[in-house]
A and B are shown apart, each in its own frame.
Chain A
Amino acid sequence: MSAASPAPADPAPSGSTPTGSTPTGPAPTVTPPVVQMTGISIAFPGVKALDDVGFRLFPGEVHALMGENGAGKSTLIKALTGVYAIDSGRIEVDGTDLRFDGPSQAQAAGISTVYQEVNLCANLTVAENVMLGHEVRRGPFIDWRATRRRAAEFLARLNLDVDPRSMLSSHTIAVQQLCAIARALVVDAKVLILDEPTSSLDNAEVAELFRVVRRLKDDGVAILFVSHFLDQIYEISDRVTVLRNGRFVGEHRIEDLPRRELIAAMIGRSGDALAGIEEKARSTITIHSERETPFLTAVGLGKNGSIQPFDVNLYAGEILGVAGLLGSGRTEMARLLSGADRPDTGDVHVQSSLTRLTSPLAALAHGIAYSTEDRKKEGIVGDLTVRENIALAMQARRGTWRRIPRRQLDDVVARYITALQINPPNPNALIRNLSGGNQQKVLLARWLATAPRLLILDEPTRGIDVGAKAEIQKLVTELAQDGMSVVFISSELEEVLRLSQRLVVMRDRRKVDDLVNADDVTTSTILETIAATVPQSGAHA
């Protein structure tokens, strides 16, 4: 187990110093903090996730928790919600020292969490989810009518107009998240933790979410907000706590901390270096002539109930950006191009020869690699090591019987761990113990190790921090310059525009545009294309 904390946390005389372990700045209000965490340390095998970290949260504030992947944000939240036991330190809620044995005590103490992946029951109705454990009872029975009415009241408080009897799974992620927040209202939460709530939401949905967040804040709820979108952080937060490598870096009022300084605090180097990477990415656009043979051509490729038939050409050395809302058919396109789904119609030609991509393995054999959108469900194999996760696709391509020689595998793994800066750099670590961004890097390594000619990346930068995002963007650019064909799918339009040479726009499961990313193409022109005929699913409230 970890060693004891080196020193008791003395209140430093100066404000929030970069080296201090405890937030000591002036309190934003006269009220005492609703959550005070001091000297929190948590260690996992091979990783010191939190090292003497302090954190405080006041009623009626939105507090952003910032840090790179692996900085300890998720771990801190899990300590606060009782998911992880802390090795040392103390957690006070409302002035009482709390020691959690599990999440239920944290909930009893008034702490509610809304995760990026909605942790509700998709197979229950909205009302059942919102009221779970708080159903209105009549004797030993549940009064379903009253329960639904109560649920409707809470939903109405959030301005959410959904039928409480509808299945949760029939709604968009955004509505599901708002249902999760409604649930927090039911349990009368004092502290609401929003862990990456916006990563799957479009702009209108984010605005709706923020309206709700402001309202809760006015009611005196303390809100802990985690997001990788700096714009959103600056829009909604009052204060910010920065972590780096499992340590406390500083606590600031948001207006005292310009963006560049925030990033510098997160990555521990000067902000200027980062600006270079971000700018450099809008790369040299080499437009491919019509005469050149594409690496892959799809003609009339489609699947019933999934995506309308589409044509697309993918060229070596080119990044094709796919823009469109969530559910517009971006992922469906990727799945057909990678053999993950079988098409009902259309043909695929790989290097001019007709090819049937009947399985992911068949696609892999043609040099097509597909990094999925859902890292957890379709990407990582959690209980296997980093080494095995990297080896998986390469080994699958070689077949079951010709095992990759251990030395060769170790070389490959070591190379990618260094090249992609996977942290911790331990090939024997279980991948589920890594942070999201590092898991994403391992998955990239898995695909790059197969030496693909076409790399399809579905949301490769979702939910990962600025530094890792820039690294991945840079890597993608370099891969294309080295002659790889890349399909880049992202909800972040800016990112798609910055990286790609050509763009495909999707709307309502249909390819609606295919254009060269020239200088006159901007986010607003793309948005216009996406919104040309407003899809019915645009607004939910």
Chain B
Amino acid sequence: MSAFLTVDNLSASIRGNIRQRVLRSVSFSIDTGEVLGLVGESGAGKSMIGKAILGILPSAVEVVEGEIQLDGHNLMAMKQADRRRLIGATAALIPQDPLTALNPSRRIEPQITNRLVDILGWSKRDARLRALELLDEVHIDNPERVMGSYPHELSGGMRQRVLIASAFAANPKLVVADEPTTALDVTVQKQILRLIRELQTRHETAMVFVTHDLGVVSKVCQRLSVLYGGMVVESSDVPAFFGGPGHAYSRALLAATPKYTDPEASLLPVDEAVIAQVSGEVLAADEGWRHGA
């Protein structure tokens, strides 16, 4: 049986300028229940992949080549409305910034239940019960009160819990977590990570976990892909990767991860020779791609 999500040779470019690629022939696949980490520096295109899968690329970017297969459906061949419905019914996003991802003028309850009622056709009562159950699952003490609250009445950590509950509400088979802990307090980050892992395991969800933090990858993911310039530099199993990455850039990235025990020695910029090498590979890929096009 083929994987639940397959991204095959996906390229995305700045609209109107096909040569200027933000994603360079990216391929990977994820099985049900598996967590794939997408790692890279800012601007490496890791968030862009998640957005391309969910169909929420910024209007300045368009997919120019490649395929995305979700649960046997070819997303690229679908009409926008059908595609959105399929995404809404099978996938979910855990966004990066919980402070801006909730609608400030609506109470929490409809923000969790609207997908269930409007897209999946649940009754309001069932959706409400489901939301209460989910809020309990994300360890919110007083679900009734939170459901009736407005976002500004909740803390950042609480809001991220609400968003996680909302993401898992419809039993999605795929969750894209886009740096879900970056905007949070360090003390809350760990709880939220554990929570995401807990729900992912319980619901046997396939997950794309976008992060710049290799420490997080080692705790949450089974496999990872390292990105540079919108290109996959290395894909590997997590234990093997931390045992010794294959690519020079991956090694440099791993060496640059801050360690509390030795901050001086670990806070190193990536070596210039390594940057030159990996940039060369990106350029070479573009050369080849141009000949193909």
Partners in one complex: no
